[in-house]
Structure 1
Amino acid sequence: MPNAVNLKTIQVVPGAKDFIDIVLSKTQRGTPTVVHNGWAIQRIRQFYMRKVKFTQQNWNEKLSAILDEFPKVEDIHPFYADLLNVLYDKDHYKLALGQLNTARNLVDRVAQDYIRLLKYGDSLYRCKELKRAALGRMCTLMKRQGPSLAYLEQVRQHMSRLPSIDPNTRTLLLCGYPNVGKSSMMNKLTRADVEVQPYAFTTKSLYVGHMDYKYLRWQVIDTPGILDRPLEERNTIEMQSITALAHLRAAVLYLVDISEQCGYSITQQAALFHSIKPLFSNKPVLIVVNKIDSRRMEDLSDADRELVDGMVDEAKKISSGGAAAALGGDSEETVLMAMSTLSEEGVMSVKQTACDRLLNFRVEMKVAGKRIADVLNKIHVAQPKPRAGVAAGSRPPVIPAGVAEARARRAAGERKKTERDMQEENGGAGVYNADLRKHYDLQDPEWKYDIMPEIMDGHNILDFVDPDIDAKLAELEREEAELEAAFAEEADAGGGGMDSEDEAAGDLTEEQAADLAAIRARKRVLVGEHRSKKNSHRNQAVLPAKLANARGRTAEAMKSSLGSLGIDASKAAERARSQSRGRKRERSASKARGGEDGDADMGDAGEKKRVHSSKSRSMSRGRSLSMAEPRPGSGLKDVVQRNKGIKMADKAQWRMNKMAKIGESDRAIPTKMPKHLFSGKKPGHSTRNRR
């Protein structure tokens, strides 16, 4: 099928209200939701322009998906095009799709117009109202498409229930009056389970079943019954059969109920055949007489027999035309067949005849086509040539030894002994161990049961092992034991040995030895504390700075501990006190300088005043920055680097703010309850504070 469309994969078409909720909810979740009046106007504009663009893109994507999934009448096979026209009215179907296409274009135009207006919005309120108007117009447009969306959803549901018919494959088409046995024959030929009832028009749509014949897949189509009346008076059920007969290249089986139990006489059935005869052109046709279990062909009256013969003659004329006439085909093919679906008499012969006729017809059509000439030029049939000195038939057939042995065992009533037989003979499961090595395919069969496999040039691992390895290993162990005994004797002779630290301590005085012992004791304590905290230091809380004095971590404690070691820590204590004073120290220092230099001229004083005033203004403007001490471990060594990093971060965020984004990821959803879903009109007024 050109541009094949799978009608069962079309997505659900939501209603107008659900459509609006889906798109607005996605807009609320996919765009920022917080805007402040203090932002720059360009950032506010970008905030609302982004919402309008995002909503327009969602509408466009959703509507485009619907328009692309539904098949275009002009792009699909004529069979499906006419079937759509019969079932859904092609004009109404096109009109619904056209209205959605128009709505998509109008939504794009509305978004374009309001984005142009938002570029010149002068306040947050004006931008918000423009965004509200844009989204409102888009929702109004989609509300008007409610009937079209509902119609397309009904069409989608009906399309998903249609059978998957391949118009180009091998097909048998069953047609005729209602209740003549079409569905019964369908159930006999295929694995389909079509409902069969003893009243007319049980089958109201096309049913498809599949069968296999000559290793090929065939489809069998059961059509609803057709009545003999003008085309314009036929209903939708009958028009489905007419559409299948008109467009499918299939073998047509026209079923005739000769018992007339269907409620229609043979005269009426013959009249229907002649009225729909133009639909059988270029198709192999079979007249299948059904229900011969109730009435045989021999029991027909002369008038009824003439009517059947008339249908057979017309079927032969149809079959003798087209490709068969062009190739000089045989027009004496079997056209009339008899069967009974109740007793299954003749059903398989009808199937074989119909399939063979269709295969021959398809081959004839291909040969009669224009493309066969191009193919024949590329085909060459190779013929074997007899070899010189070898007479024809001098090579008798040869039966392999294994095949001959198997045939002999079979003739003697024996069978090949299997592993299961050997298992039962040798103790059963759990006792018998199957010999898998006998199936090894090696270069030398003697290698199958080698303990060590061959690895290189016919050698295995044992060939490369030193035979005296055990004696040499014992000699090495004996030498090692002698060396250890000699070392122990030397240690005993030297008084138990002395490490390098003890040797160094041997030349010290008593006071120095006492100090060394104290140092070593303190070292052992520190090492023990370190080892005890090594695995648990991560679980200890960080000591706050305000609690440092509680444990003696003060400047006085530092000064006294360093003084005991002979280190002057007075300057470090003064520097710690000066850093704690902060800005007061600078002011006091400037006063001191002013008092000492009181005789300075007014020019210098004015210049200093300007310098201090500008500095104080900058400090007051960025006091939070100037007082921002770098955190330990942050990689910033002083306040200057900390302030520089803050300024760089603000500058990097400026571009994000222009695009109305929270940050680089912009994945946060600050608003957990979108207002458009959880707020509505209130008595006396409406909620106007949506964003």
Structure 2
Amino acid sequence: MPLYNFKTIKVVPTGKDFIDIVLSRTQRQTPTVVHNGWAITRIRSFYMRKVKYTQSNWHDKLSQILDDFPKVDDIHPFYADLLNVLYDKDHFKLALGQLNMARNLIGKVAQDYVRLLKYGDSLYRCKQLKRAALGRMCTIMKKQTASLAYLEQVRQHMSRLPSIDPNTRTLLVCGYPNVGKSSFMNKITRADVDVQPYAFTTKSLFIGHMDYKYLRWQVIDTPGILDRPLEERNTIEMQSVTALAHLRAAVLYIVDISEQCGYTIAQQAALFHSIKPLFASKPLLVVANKTDAASIEALSPEDQAILRELVVEAAKTSAGAGVVLDADALAREANLLKMSTLTEEGVMDVKQLACDRLLASRVEMKLQGKRVKDITNRIHVSQPQSRDGSGGKADPKSARPACIPTSVLAKRAAATSGAGPSQPAADAEETELQLQERLGGAGVYSADMRKRWQLSNPGWKYDIAPEIIEGHNIADFIDPDIEAKLADLEAEEDALAAAAAAEGIDMDLDDLTPEEMELLGQIKNRKRVLVASHRRRKSAANNHSVMPRGRDVDRIINTDQMKKSLDWMGYNTDKAVARVRSQSRTGRKRMRSEGPAGMDVDGAGDVVMEPPQKRIHSSKSRSMSRGRALSTSEPGAGKGIRDASQRNKAIKISDKAMRKRGKQARRGEGDRHIPDLKPKHLLTGKRGKGKTDRR
């Protein structure tokens, strides 16, 4: 049987809201534009679609309501009777039946009007048939307003019911009002039921959960019951009666022996006897509560006799439920169960006994079932046979005495030969415990873990652990004579140094002549200039044009080759050759007589250094150099243009090409215009009733 969860039932709308929901959905999900010029078949299908879609919406909504609510005849009898107590089962069935009838009537209306729409001869007649069909459907649903309102109230009340599993392990607490049922439930579970010092604080069923013997248990707190005829009990009391009648649980009947609940022990016993038929075939416990306020010994003999009678009746009921009690349970059963929910005395004992009773009852019921025989037929219990004889008498031939190795026997004999625990025998190995006691005791003695290592050479036990790199022992690659060889090498170096000092090989700058010192300074300056120029070229990353080696493998592209080819074509190459040769020099003002990097070489062979000239980096110098580069004696000099007319023609061709591109008005990477990707008139404001034609 599944665990019922009534919280998943969807909300039931009222009659007016129901009509608005369905008609609005039809308006939104079907086309809304029709023209008189369309073919009549198209107009008929347009309105037939609206009628069918509306009928489908009614059918789906009503079917969901009918499916969500439980069927009284298909659910557990506990929930069926609980629904009958709370909502009147007949009224509940009648409301669901009316909705089912409305669903069928709406389907029939749609079928009739679709048949009539097939013969519609104009747009006006088809429209009127559609209006009539939707109007009759709405009229049918208006008549169900009362049923929908009733079902919504039922749904709200059912969503507040606890989720009770009728077939799990359950403890059911019952009794008169204000006897301590809710307090007992709060003590043994994690529930938090309201507890007040007046009657009928609990008005409905409350459920709590606990763990016992690694199993999950549910505890149900029922409202108080009064001793009166069944037909006079109200809805609150009938919930308790329904739970007692249909739930197979261990029942705890709470008795207030202090009579603070307002009812005497005799009245509570009378209630027990009046509802005793509901306890049939269930484990039953009678528990005396509020022992902190009054003890059983202080009660009158008549009240004590009544309580003993209740205990006897409870034992008979438990025996009828098939409960087999163990010795501890029987010992506890001999006396009346006592507890106090205020001081928590005896609460856990009552809980354990109730759980054990219920477990024993469930096991007994399973053994009495038909399925046990099918299981026992498949179980085989093997009984091992005794190999040492039968009947407890051992057979000497098959006896198997204990076998102790000779080495162990020898050690035992050596240990018992007279040596004490701190003084072992000469041939017996001293144990670690004896070593510890002899060498200072625990905390002082440190056990030697290497003495029992099994190595090829026992002398390796206490060697220093080798250093391993890449799987190799470093000690295997060390020359044992390295110390002597190092000493010889150092002695040889000392001898060589002494010989060099004796021969005077060491050069001293003080011994140089003035001419040699000047020449050394010039060499150092030249070296410094070369290093500076190399670093400058490296920092500029050689940023100058170089002919690729692949284009001139044979080194034939030079100035002479250019002069020959241009002379053959009829061009004057004197200035071009002079310009190329002037650019090939390292500096603008450097002369051919100058050496590299500004060194003048005279006839005597002496190198004369000139101080490096400071380069001028200014906007004026750059503009002047740029002007000199652009200003030439001829209009097209250096640009492949013969004269001014050819130059003007080239300028006109360039302007004409740019004019064509300018007319295209293409955006480039320099443009910063942001286009209007989201026009405001399409993305702001709300659409009115007449602006929904975009669907």
Q: How does 1:485-634 map onto structure 2 within 5 Å? A: 487=553, 489-492=555-558, 495=561, 522=653, 526=657, 536=668
The AA in structure 2 aligned to 1:378 is R
> Residues of 1 paired with 2:38 and 2:223: CA distance?
71
| Partner residue in 2 for 1:408 | none
**TM-aligned CA deviation for residue 524 of structure 1:** 10
Distance change in 2, residues 1:37/1:331 (3 Å): same
The superposition leaves residues 534-574 of structure 1 with CA deviations (integer Å, 9 ceiling, x where unpaired) of: 76499999xxxxxxxxxxxxxxxxxxxxxxxxxxxxxxxxx
Matches within 5 A, 1:416-455: none
SS where residue 11 of structure 1 aligns? coil
Please list every run of 5 or more consecutive structure 2 residues that lacks an aligned counterpart in the other structure: 388-397, 406-441, 444-467, 473-545, 573-640, 674-686
Q: Which residue of 2 aligns with 1:101?
A: 100
Number of matched residues? 467
Instruction: State the Cα distance separating 1:299 from its structure 2 match.
Output: 1.4
Partner of 2:57: 58
Contact 1:28 1:674 in 2 (8 A): no
Matched residue SS, 1:132: helix
Which residue is equivalent to 1:185?
184
Question: What code does the residue aligned with 2:233 have?
Answer: R
1:210 aligns to 2:209 (yes or no)? yes
Change (3 A) 1:196 1:155: same
**How do 1:263-302 residues align onto structure 2 when only pairs under 5 Å count?**
263-302=262-301
1:168 and 2:167 matched: yes
Does the aligned pair in 2 maintain the 1:175–1:182 contact within 8 Å? yes
Match of 2:343 in 1: 343
1:10 maps to 9
Question: CA, structure 1 residues 540+131, in 2 after alignment: closer, same or farther (shift >3 Å)?
Answer: farther
Partners of 1:29 and 1:9 lie apart in 2 by 28
Deviations 1:304-363 (A, max 9, x none): 1111111111111111124348x9999947443100001111111111111122112211
Tell me, in whole angstroms, the C-alpha distance in 2 between the residues paired with 1:371 and 1:290: 41
Letter of the structure 2 residue corresponding to residue 105 of structure 1: N
Flag the 1:85–1:494 CA change in 2: closer, same or farther, 3 A: farther
Query: In structure 2, what residue type is equivalent to 1:282?
Result: S
User: Which residue is 1:201 aligned to?
Assistant: 200
Secondary structure, counterpart of 2:129 in structure 1: helix
User: Offset of 1:93 from its aligned partner?
Assistant: 0.2
1:241-260, aligned counterparts within 5 Å? Answer: 241-260=240-259
Contact 1:386 1:392 in 2 (8 A): no
Match of 1:235 in 2: 234
**Secondary structure at 1:121's aligned position in 2?**
coil
Distance 2:188 2:331 in 1: 22
Structure-2 change in CA distance of 1:447 and 1:21 (3 Å): farther
- Comparing both chains, which one has the higher relative contact order based on Cα–Cα distances under 8 Å and sequence gaps of 6 or more? 1
Deviation of the 1:81 alpha carbon: 0.6
Question: Do 1:267 and 1:307's aligned partners in 2 also have CA atoms closer than 8 Å?
Answer: yes
Matching residue of 2:316? 317
Letter in 2 for 1:210: H
Residues 526 and 673 of structure 1: CA distance in aligned 2, closer, same or farther (over 3 Å): closer
Q: 1:41 to 1:489 in 2, by over 3 A?
A: same
What is the Cα deviation at residue 271 of structure 1? 0.9
Distance 1:167 1:672, change over 3 A: farther
Partner in structure 2 of residue 123 of structure 1: 122
Q: Which runs of 5+ in 1 are unaligned?
A: 396-410, 413-444, 450-479, 542-668, 676-691
Tell me how far apart the structure 2 counterparts of residues 484 and 284 of structure 1 sit (CA, whole Å): 107
CA contact (8 A) 1:204 1:237 kept: yes
In structure 1, the residue matched to 2:373 is: 373
Q: Cα deviations across residues 174-231 of structure 1 (Å, max 9, x unaligned)? A: 0000000001111111121111111111111000111112222211110000011111
Verify the 8 A CA contact 1:206 1:221 in the aligned structure 2: yes
Would the alpha carbon gap of residues 175 and 489 (structure 1) be closer, same or farther in structure 2, given more than 3 Å must change? same
SS of 2:209's equivalent in the other structure is strand
- Tell me if 1:158 matches 2:157: yes
Distance change >3 Å, CA 324–CA 189, structure 1 → 2: closer
Aligned counterparts of 1:94 and 1:487: Cα–Cα separation in 2: 106
Partner amino acid for 2:128?
E
Moved more, 518-527 or 329-338: 518-527
CA RMSD of aligned residues (A): 4.6
Indicate the residue corresponding to 2:91 in structure 1. Answer: 92
Which residue in 2 is equivalent to 1:356?
356
On the 8 A contact 2:283/2:321 being kept in 1, the answer is: no
Q: For the residues of structure 1 that align with 2:251 and 2:105, how far apart are their CA atoms?
A: 50
One-letter code aligned to 1:40 = A
Aligned-pair identity in percent equals 64
Amino acid at match of 1:114: Y
Asked whether the 8 Å contact 1:288–1:338 carries over to 2, the reply is yes
Q: Aligned in 2, Cα 1:253/1:528: closer, same or farther, shift over 3 Å?
A: farther
Q: Partners of 1:44 and 1:141 in 2: how far apart?
A: 27
Cα 1:218–1:670 shift into 2, 3 Å: same
User: Which residue of structure 2 lines up, in the alignment, with residue 19 of structure 1?
Assistant: 18
8 Å Cα contact 1:316/1:332 also seen in 2: no
Distance 1:192 1:302, change over 3 A: same
Q: 1:214 to 1:393 in 2, by over 3 A?
A: farther
TM-score for both structures, normalised by structure 1? 0.60
Report the structure, 1 or 2, having the larger helix content.
Answer: 1
Distance 1:264 1:9, change over 3 A: same
Contact 1:5–1:71, Cα closer than 8 Å, also in 2: no
Matched-pair contact (CA < 8 Å) for 1:320–1:331: no
Q: Tell me how far apart the structure 2 counterparts of residues 166 and 447 of structure 1 sit (CA, whole Å).
A: 68
Q: Secondary structure at the match of 2:297?
A: helix
Change (3 A) 1:264 1:538: same
Aligned to 1:613: none
